[in-house]
Amino acid sequence: MVKLAEKGSDEAIGVSWQRLREFVHRRLPAEHFADASTLDRLIADSGGHPRDLLRLLNFCFQEIDEGPITRQVAETAARRLSTEYRCLVQPDDFGLLAAIDHAAADYTPATMQTRRLLYDLVLLEYNSYWWQTHPAVRTLNGYRSAVAAIAGGDGPPAG
């Protein structure tokens, strides 16, 4: 995984974003994007996972006949990726994923459940050994409900 930001921070790691832009532009020139922010949206939706970034680009090409990749096409591609990840997540996973995302970076409970989530790339592991839920999973209703339960003071949902 390419770390796009530190856990809990909104500040982007510039060199990581630049390397992923270069990774894409080696395969697809910049003029294939309506604007630079469209590519950045795809990078964010990949969670820093190069293979998922390429999958998102493939989904984009399946949506357009000609012309550049627009923001709307990128959003459609992101929804398709979320749909694929929905099949990998069990209902009792959402509470654990939300808890991991809202805990300190060193909270990495090694269980059979987290091993499965890491294997399926539902949970991404970054090089300083912290975990975060894949952005495609964070858009799912089950995940959003689990986050709302934490924010509402109910504590992490069981799971």
pLDDT digits (tens, 9 = 90+) for 134-144: 999 999 999 99
Which tokens hold the place of 144? 């959003």
The percent of residues in the chain predicted with pLDDT above 90, rounded, is 85
pLDDT digits (tens, 9 = 90+) for 67-91: 899 999 999 999 999 999 999 999 9
| pTM score of the predicted model | 0.90
**Separation of alpha carbons 148 and 78, rounded Å:** 22
Count of Cβ atoms closer than 10 Å to residue 87 Cβ: 7
Segments making up each domain of the chain, as ranges: 14-86, 93-151
Count of Cβ atoms closer than 10 Å to residue 68 Cβ: 14
Residue pair 24/57 in contact by the 8 Å Cβ criterion = yes
